[in-house]
Amino acid sequence: MVPILDIKSPLAPKIVASLPLTNSVFGPPVNLAITPDERLAIVANSVNIVSDDKGGLKQQPDDKL
């Protein structure tokens, strides 16, 4: 999960939303880009857990923004 914080009051930040991204052994999403005017942030998920053809699970690169 990636929380979106309102930091108008730096001493009392508030979570205003959260993005439900999966976690893995590689860790949480680590790809983040913020526009120079700080109005837009893009978060990319690193991996996705999917079923393999043997009934197990495998990790594959994810393409979610």
Domain positions in the chain are 2-61
* pLDDT per residue as tens digits for the range 21-60: 666 565 555 678 889 998 888 877 777 788 888 889 888 8
Residues forming beta bridges with residue 34, ordered by sequence position: 41
The secondary structure of 7-58 as a DSSP string is: -SSTTS-EEEEEE-----TT-S--EEEE-TTSS-EEEE--EEEEE-TTSSEE
pTM higher than 0.85 for the full model?
A: no
Distances (CA, A) of 15 to 2, 5, 6, 25: 10, 4, 6, 25
Q: So what's the pLDDT on residue 28?
A: 59
Q: What is the pLDDT of residue 24?
A: 58
44 within 8 A of 25, measured Cβ to Cβ: no
Position 11 confidence tier, pLDDT thresholds 50, 70, 90: very high
